[in-house]
Structure 1
C-alpha cells in the first residue's frame, strides 16, 4: 500500500491518488526509510505534459 503521493502540479490530467484508483501516468512506487527504521511507500507520479523534455 502506498502511503504518500508526489504529483506534478498543473499537469494536463488530474492524477488519481485514491487507494483503489490506477493513475494513467503509471506512477512508480518507491520505498522510503523513516527515522524509526520502518519503511513507507511513496508513489511518484509522472507528468503527461512533457515538462521533463522542455528546455529551461
Structure 2
C-alpha cells in the first residue's frame, strides 16, 4: 500500500512542478535568462552566512 501512495504522491508532485515550469517560461519568456542569475545571486546572498560559518569550521 505504501508503494502505491509513494507513486501517487510522486505523480502529483511532478505534475505540479511541470505546471510551475510551464508558467515560469510562459510568463517570463525571453527575460527568463535574466531572472535565472538574479535567483542564483539572491540564493547566494541568503546562504552566504551559512556557507561562511561552515567554511570557518574546517
Fold shared by both chains (TM-score > 0.5): no
Larger Cα-atom Rg: 2
More relative contact order in 1 or in 2 (CA 8 Å, sep 6+)?
Answer: 1
Normalized per residue, which structure has more helix? 2
TM-score bucket (shorter structure): under 0.3
TM-score (norm 2): 0.21
With normalisation by structure 1, the TM-score equals: 0.22
